[in-house]
Structure 1
Amino acid sequence: MMKDYDLAILVVAAGRGSRAGEGLPKQYRPLAGRPLLAHTLSALLDVASDARILTVIHPDDHDLYENCLASLDKERADRIMLPVHGGATRQDSVRAGLEALAGEKAPPHIVLIQDGARPFPNEGLIARARAAALDHGAAVPALLVIDTIKEVNESGRIVATPARAALRAVQTPQAFRFDLILAAHRKAAEANENGLTDDAAIAEWAGHAVHVFEGEIDNMKVTSAEDLAVAERRFLKDLPDVRIGQGYDVHAFGPGDHVWLGGLKIPHDHALVGHSDADVLAHAITDALLGAIGDGDIGSHFPPSDPKWKGAASEIFLAAAAEAVRARGGMIAHIDATIVCERPKIGPHRDAIRESIAKIVGISLDRVAIKATTSERLGFTGREEGMASMALATVRLPL
């Protein structure tokens, strides 16, 4: 029987994804409520429960990667190894990941090399990849080519029609005996052989026979903006149960020089009073999320009678509510909240508050709306005795 350390999955996510258009690197683009890479990692955690997973990222992407992990539930994210930095090319990035695994106390016996932009691996594919690596040492998933392929010259003239029966469209994860592919990458680097387009080509160049095993038609790679839209529709189709929860919270003013709103410290001539940090906005959103999944309220999960929550940062409560949604296999589709107060003025801080909430719950900024209003000097908020907040949370769950 294979031990846990016998299988590693190397997820390559250091590229810039320029073919997906302007904006974030494609692996961090929002897709059904969380980054594309988060979907890939989540799927791998599901279908390869005995594997260790190592991600190779761009040196500039640490914050983006941390946000990506924040969109996974914590227990699952803890199964992912600390990332390593990639290089100038995909070949450099894969080699960096392989060297990191080689430096482990117990290097793996089998390694699967997976594109970060392929978010639909399944158990059958992973099982076939592992078996093929054990049987052959080097193997790749592939599909029969169903369209006629033409080779053309620089002027666009057809110069050849390859026999379709001998062609295959190759996918990832590509599967290897670890020592074989590590040695092949090192040999290619020493020879300054940089033009090899995938890991199978590197193994071939190093003199190894590479076999194919059955791929998956649904194992698409997200390359363009159109691909992102197609992939998002697939994810949303699996989350048909749309629910809305509401939350409301109030806190009185007391002595102090700031208030906490959505996990952000806002200067003010008073503080809000409560058992925790009295973040009225975070509390309302927490209750809205819990309400949407029918899981009690903030007081039932974090009772004010418990001294451990005295002075606690309310972002803990908000993050826990978001994790509860993900634990149900769901996604947070949208958060819409309103703050009611005369002062402090919320407008100058609105975008920073939105960014804070988006980061805490692990969703994209465009899925968070924050509004503010006064009560026209009426009631306790009008008399500046305290603040109130109302929130709606829309979540999508599987049936």
Structure 2
Amino acid sequence: MSRPQRTAAILVAAGRGLRAGGGGPKQYREIGGQTVIFRAMAPFSNHPQLSHVQPVLHLDDLAMFSTAVRGLRHEPPAGGGATRQQSVCAGLEALNAHKPDIVLIHDAARPFVSSEVISRAIEAASRSGAAIPVVPVTDTVKLVDASGHIEATPDRARLRIAQTPQAFRFDVILDAHRRAAREGRADFTDDAALAEWAGLTVATFEGDVANMKMTTPEDFLREEARLASQLGDIRIGTGYDVHAFGAGNHVMICGVKVPHSKGFLAHSDGDVGLHALVDAILGALADGDIGSHFPPSDPQWKGASSDRFLKYAVDRVAAHGGRIANVEVTMICERPKIGPLRDVMRARIAEISGVDISRVAVKATTSERLGFTGREEGIAATASATIRLPWNDKAGSL
């Protein structure tokens, strides 16, 4: 009985991408609230037919990469070379230990690749051994000489724009890359050109006009505007939580350990600020409340750190294709004093939720010595969250 076909992917992310502006490699810039590289890698990491996802990057970017793709499945990154061709070869060598049958090679600068294109790539490579996605040329193309004079007008009916992921039998494209390296050929701009040079017949399959490469600042401005226009469904949710004091020497507030003469009586760590914020986000999604997702009757949440709850709620927004516009938490207590730690708490919420700190507010007030908070029997918190979802998204249905 033959084993099932194994398919892997290489994500090429070693370039510096400085033409895109922004002061750093373009693959780590955000677009629509997510990094380019996260958007490019996620469809591969989540695709059921892919056994391995091999990133290739400039190793100086390793910390930036780890932050940018947190939560995505991938192999340990391989170090890239001075050219794209060298980086792909490094990725192929890294994958060689896994011996995949098919490999897909994708540029990290293409953040809008779809699962459907990936499936078509796998099918095409399985059938032909070498295949690339293409889209028709819609403009008239001119061939010009060194002086800028027109030499010819090619028939655009036969022209295609090449995209990635380009898909090949693994052993064949690995041999072709090794041969090119031995012979000092390092001038191929894509893997299809290298495959043609090696004598392979390369087939084509239907690409996707949305699967464009991010190259210039104008590309980022255009796509940011396009994504923003799709996220027109603005939702607002509110949350409230309260915990009584008990024995202890600290309390957790908005993800920060705060020294105090007492602790919280709670099933988890009792972080009222994060609990209220989780409820606000889930409320904006019409997706229940914190108790329905993390019931206090479940022993696995005993003493749990509340940053897990907030990350879960944020991931629920992302699963709907949405983004968080801003969040606000108001603490109600006499002590401990929140003001000196306000910005530390803002930074911690921003870190957990993956939003810019400018979109996070933490406030505090007292109850003028009235009620249980005034008697210092506990702490209360309110929160609000504004999220943006795509139109027609069925929030609450996950």
TM-score over 0.5 (shorter chain): yes
Secondary structure class of the residue paired with 1:182 = helix
Superposed displacement of residue 352, structure 1: 4.0
Flag the 1:257–1:220 CA change in 2: closer, same or farther, 3 A. Answer: same
Q: Does 1:84 align with 2:78?
A: yes
Amino acid at match of 1:369: V
Instruction: Check conservation: 1:117, 1:223, Cα contact below 8 A.
Output: yes
Amino acid at match of 2:96: A
Q: Distance in 2 between matches of 1:147 and 1:38?
A: 34
For residue 118 of structure 1, what is the aligned residue in structure 2? 110
For residue 29 of structure 1, what is the aligned residue in structure 2? 29
For residue 96 of structure 1, what is the aligned residue in structure 2? 90
Give deviations 1:253-301, integer Å, cap 9, x for gaps: 4554443233233445554442221212211111111212222222233
Q: Distance in 2 between matches of 1:208 and 1:17?
A: 30
Q: Distance in 2 between matches of 1:341 and 1:60?
A: 45
Q: Which moved more, 1:129-138 or 1:375-384?
A: 375-384
Pairing of 1:241-320 with structure 2 (within 5 A) = 241-268=233-260, 270-320=262-312
Secondary structure class of the residue paired with 2:16 = coil
Instruction: Check conservation: 2:324, 2:355, Cα contact below 8 A.
Output: no
Give deviations 1:313-333, integer Å, cap 9, x for gaps: 111221222233344454433
Superposed displacement of residue 135, structure 1: 4.3
Superposed displacement of residue 305, structure 1: 3.8
Instruction: Check conservation: 2:345, 2:362, Cα contact below 8 A.
Output: no
Amino acid at match of 1:304: P
Superposed displacement of residue 211, structure 1: 3.9
Secondary structure class of the residue paired with 1:101 = helix
Q: Distance in 1 between matches of 2:216 and 2:259?
A: 43
Q: Distance in 1 between matches of 2:80 and 2:5?
A: 23
Q: Distance in 1 between matches of 2:260 and 2:81?
A: 46
Pairing of 1:159-178 with structure 2 (within 5 A) = 160-161=151-152, 163-165=154-156, 167-178=159-170
Q: Name the structure, 1 or 2, with higher relative contact order (CA <8 Å, separation 6+).
A: 1
Amino acid at match of 2:100: P
Instruction: Check conservation: 1:341, 1:372, Cα contact below 8 A.
Output: no
Pairing of 1:31-46 with structure 2 (within 5 A) = 31-44=31-44
Superposed displacement of residue 244, structure 1: 1.4
Amino acid at match of 1:49: P
Superposed displacement of residue 152, structure 1: 5.2
Secondary structure class of the residue paired with 1:103 = helix
Return 5+ residue gaps in structure 1 as ranges. none
For residue 51 of structure 1, what is the aligned residue in structure 2? 50
Return 5+ residue gaps in structure 2 as ranges. none
Q: Does 1:371 align with 2:348?
A: no
For residue 132 of structure 2, what is the aligned residue in structure 1? 140
Flag the 1:271–1:162 CA change in 2: closer, same or farther, 3 A. Answer: farther
Q: Distance in 2 between matches of 1:351 and 1:97?
A: 42
Pairing of 1:190-229 with structure 2 (within 5 A) = 190-229=182-221
Instruction: Check conservation: 1:374, 1:382, Cα contact below 8 A.
Output: no
For residue 19 of structure 2, what is the aligned residue in structure 1? 19
Taking only aligned residues, the RMSD between alpha carbons, in angstroms, comes to: 3.2
Q: Does 1:393 align with 2:392?
A: no
Secondary structure class of the residue paired with 2:385 = strand
Report how many aligned residue pairs link the two structures.
387
Give deviations 1:139-161, integer Å, cap 9, x for gaps: 322333323334353xx643644
Flag the 1:310–1:134 CA change in 2: closer, same or farther, 3 A. Answer: closer
Q: Which moved more, 1:351-360 or 1:13-22?
A: 351-360
Instruction: Check conservation: 2:6, 2:102, Cα contact below 8 A.
Output: yes
Instruction: Check conservation: 1:151, 1:162, Cα contact below 8 A.
Output: no
Secondary structure class of the residue paired with 2:111 = coil
Q: Distance in 2 between matches of 1:128 and 1:307?
A: 45
Amino acid at match of 2:49: D
Secondary structure class of the residue paired with 2:218 = helix
Q: Distance in 2 between matches of 1:348 and 1:24?
A: 33
Amino acid at match of 1:92: Q
Superposed displacement of residue 343, structure 1: 4.9
Superposed displacement of residue 237, structure 1: 4.8
Identity across aligned pairs (percent)? 47
Q: Distance in 1 between matches of 2:286 and 2:83?
A: 47
Q: Which moved more, 1:223-232 or 1:172-181?
A: 223-232
Flag the 1:239–1:220 CA change in 2: closer, same or farther, 3 A. Answer: same
Q: Distance in 2 between matches of 1:60 and 1:392?
A: 38
Instruction: Check conservation: 1:4, 1:51, Cα contact below 8 A.
Output: no
For residue 109 of structure 1, what is the aligned residue in structure 2? 101
Instruction: Check conservation: 1:43, 1:121, Cα contact below 8 A.
Output: yes
